[in-house]
Amino acid sequence: MSVRVVQTKPFEGQKPGTSGLRKKVPVFQQPNYVENFVQAIFDSLEGFAGQTLVVGGDGRYHNREAIQTILRMAAANGFGRILVGQGGLLSTPAASCVIRAKGAFGGIILSASHNPGGPHGDFGIKYNIGNGGPAPEKITDAIFAHTQTMREYKTLDAPDLDLERIGTQQLGDATVEVIDPVADYLALMRTLIDFDALRKLFAGGFRMRFDAMHAATGPYAKAILEGELGAPAGTVVNGTPLPDFGGHHPDPNLVHAKELYDLMMGAGAPDFGAASDGDGDRNLIIGRGIFITPSDSLALLAANAHLAPGYARGLKGVARSMPTSGASDRVAEKLGIGSYETPTGWKFFGNLLDAGMATICGEESAGTGSDHVREKDGLWAVLLWLNVLAARGEPAKDIVQAHWREYGRNYYTRHDYEEVESDAANALMAALRARLTDLPGSRVGDAEVKAADDFAYTDPVDGSVSRSQGIRVLFADGSRIVYRLSGTGTAGATLRVYIERFEPDPARHDEDTQAILRPLITIADQLAGIRARTGRGEPSVIT
C-alpha cells in the first residue's frame, strides 16, 4: 500500500475555537475539508514517526466517515500504531484516559460536544496532546496557520477498516487496534472512587436516574452504574448513542434535560439525577428537589473530595474558569490551598494539572474534572458525587444547604443570546471595551462599579499570555457581571452574560435565583445595551 500525496487548496476559516474546529456537517462533508484540517494538525506536530495516536468520537453523524479518513492519513503520515474505540466511539474523557494509559503521542477527538447532530447538525475535530489534554494555544495557532497555506495532504489507497471487531488490523506500515472504549476508563475509576461503598448504597435501595441523552456516555454509564455498581436496570436512560442524539440537543442543562429536572422536582423523585453531554465531558447534577449549579457542584466536590479514595490525601489546588462563580475560591481558601482563575476552555487547566498545582478544576458550563485525566469528565463527577453521598449518608439537598451555611451562597446565572448577528455582537463588545477605564467609580442604577477589565491570563507555568478573554465588571458589593462571545457556536455569534451575587446571610439562601439577580440582570442590559444592539428582549437559554 503506497502513500498518495493529494493536491489541495486551503479553506477559509478553519480556525480552532474554544474546543477545536466546529462547523455544520455539510461543511465537513466538502471534499478535502476533513483531510485539510487533519493534515494541518499533523504538520503542526513533530517527532511522531512510529508513535501511537488515539482516535475516537462521540458517535455523531459523520463520525465513522471522518474516522476512516483519519486512520488512512495517520498511517500515511507515519504514526506506527493507532488506537480507535470500537464503533469509532470514545467519550472525550475516555480518549484522554486512553492517551495517558497507553503513552500515546496524542489523539484526535471527533465531537461537537453538546451541539445537535445529524445531517444538518454540527461536527467537530479536536487534537489532544500527550498529557491527554486539549492542545494549548501554541499548537492550535500553528494548526490554523497551516490550514491557510497547505497545498497537499498524505493518505493511503486502502479500503475502510472494520471498526466493530476488537483487535489488530494492518493499515500500510501502521497497526490499527480497535479497543473496548470503556475498559481503561473503568479501570481508572476503580482507583479513584469507593466502588464497594457505591455497591452498598445501591443495594440499600438508593435510586438514581442517569440521562445519557443518546450520546457517548451511555455505554460507560451502563457498564459502571448498572454493571459494576449494581444499580437497577433502567437507571441509565437514553443509553444508546445515536448519530442524531434522537433529534435532541445533547446539552445537559435545564432546557434540554427538562424531563430529568421535572422528575427530580416532583413527588416520587429518585435520590439523585444526573446527565451528560454529547461527548461525555459535561455533567448535570440534580438532587431530589434541588438543582445544583455547576459552580456550586465544583465547590462542593472540592470540599468533599477527600471522602473518595483517589483524593483521600487532600487537594493541591482548585482551578476554575473566569466566568465560573467564586464559590470554589472560598473552599480553597478554607482548605489553605491554591485557587486559580483561567480563561474559558479546558486547555487552560492542563499546565496547572501537569505541574501539580491543581487537583480539581471546573467551569460554570457543567464541566468538572480532576488530575485523573486532562479533560472535564461528566461520569467521573457523577461517581464522585455518589461517593460523597455514600460517605456522608445525607441527601444531596442537605449537603448543599449545609455548604451554603458554612461558606455563603453565590447566586449565579448565565444568560445566552444565541445566533445574534455577528456584527452586532462584536460592536456590543467593542463598545464595552471602550468604556473600561471610565466605568470604575461610576454608578449604574443603585450599583457602584469598583473595577472593570478585559480578562487576560498569564499561565503561571509557561508564562504564555492569553488576552481578551471576556469583560468583567465588578461592583462594590462583590457582585459581578461578565460578558463574552462564545467560541463554539456554528451560526452567527452567541453572547454569554454571566451574573453573580454573593449572599452570606443564611436567611436569604432559599430565594429564587432569577428574582434575586433581577437588579443585576437589568444593569447588565443597561451597561451593554443588549436589547438595543441585538434586538433581543430575552435570552435564548438561561442556565
Query: Does residue number 365 form part of the binding site for ligand VG1 (CB under 6 A)?
Result: yes
Residue with smaller CB distance to ligand VG1, 77 or 469: 469
Q: Which one of 91, 113, 325, 365 is the catalytic residue?
A: 113
CA distances in angstroms from 4 to 78, 158, 321, listed in the order given: 13, 10, 44
359 binds, among Co ion, ligand VG1, none (CB under 5 to 8 A by kind): none
Distance CA 223, CA 181 (A): 11
CB of 367 to Co ion, least distance (A): 7
Specify the 3-state DSSP secondary structure of 365.
Answer: coil
Residue with smaller CB distance to Co ion, 281 or 459: 281
Starting at the earlier edge strand, list the strands of the sheet with 290-292: 236-237, 208-211, 272-276, 283-287, 290-292
Cell numbers 455547576 label which residue? 294
Q: Do residues 368 and 300 lie in contact, with contact meaning Cβ atoms separated by under 8 Å?
A: no
CB of 109 to ligand VG1, least distance (A): 9
Distance CA 441, CA 437 (A): 10
Query: Does residue number 136 form part of the binding site for ligand VG1 (CB under 6 A)?
Result: no
Q: Provide DSSP, 48-89.
A: -TT-EEEEEE---TTHHHHHHHHHHHHHHTT-SEEEEEEEEE
Question: Looking at 63, 339, 344, 479, which residue binds ligand VG1 (CB under 6 A)?
Answer: 344
Residue with smaller CB distance to ligand VG1, 347 or 409: 347
Query: Does residue number 114 form part of the binding site for ligand VG1 (CB under 6 A)?
Result: yes
Q: Do residues 284 and 385 lie in contact, with contact meaning Cβ atoms separated by under 8 Å?
A: no
CA distances in angstroms from 137 to 20, 455, 501, listed in the order given: 11, 16, 32
CB of 157 to ligand VG1, least distance (A): 34
Residue with smaller CB distance to Co ion, 126 or 154: 126
19 binds, among Co ion, ligand VG1, none (CB under 5 to 8 A by kind): ligand VG1
CA distances in angstroms from 118 to 71, 162, 177, 249, listed in the order given: 22, 22, 27, 11
Query: Does residue number 500 form part of the binding site for ligand VG1 (CB under 6 A)?
Result: no
Q: Which three cell numbers stand for residue 83?
A: 488506537
Specify the 3-state DSSP secondary structure of 228.
Answer: helix
Residue with smaller CB distance to ligand VG1, 488 or 534: 488
User: At 381, phi and psi to the nearest 5?
Assistant: -60, -40
Question: Looking at 293, 328, 488, 543, which residue binds ligand VG1 (CB under 6 A)?
Answer: 488
CA distances in angstroms from 240 to 119, 418, 510, listed in the order given: 19, 29, 37
Residue with smaller CB distance to ligand VG1, 272 or 498: 498
Distance CA 475, CA 452 (A): 9
Question: Counting beta carbons within 10 angstroms of the beta carbon of residue 515, is it exposed (0 to 12), middle (13 to 18) or buried (19 or more)?
Answer: exposed
Q: Which stretch binds ligand VG1 (CB under 6 A): 79-87, 333-341, 387-395, 485-493?
A: 485-493
Residue with smaller CB distance to ligand VG1, 202 or 498: 498
CB of 202 to ligand VG1, least distance (A): 28
Q: Which three cell numbers stand for residue 401?
A: 444547604
486 binds, among ligand VG1, Co ion, none (CB under 5 to 8 A by kind): ligand VG1
Residue with smaller CB distance to ligand VG1, 43 or 277: 277
488 binds, among Co ion, ligand VG1, none (CB under 5 to 8 A by kind): ligand VG1
Query: Does residue number 496 form part of the binding site for ligand VG1 (CB under 6 A)?
Result: yes
| Contact set for ligand VG1, span 11-30 (CB under 6 A) | 18-19
CB of 488 to ligand VG1, least distance (A): 3
Query: Which residue(s) pair with 106 in the sheet?
Result: 53
* 339 given a catalytic annotation: no
Query: Does residue number 345 form part of the binding site for ligand VG1 (CB under 6 A)?
Result: yes
Binding region for Co ion (CB under 5 A):
113, 277, 279, 281-282
CB of 25 to ligand VG1, least distance (A): 16
Determine the length of the chain: 543
Query: Does residue number 277 form part of the binding site for ligand VG1 (CB under 6 A)?
Result: yes
Cell numbers 442590559 label which residue? 525
345 binds, among ligand VG1, Co ion, none (CB under 5 to 8 A by kind): ligand VG1
Give contact residues for ligand VG1 (rule: CB under 6 A). Answer: 18-19, 113-114, 277, 281-282, 321, 344-346, 363, 365, 367, 486-488, 496
Kindly list the catalytic residues.
Answer: 113
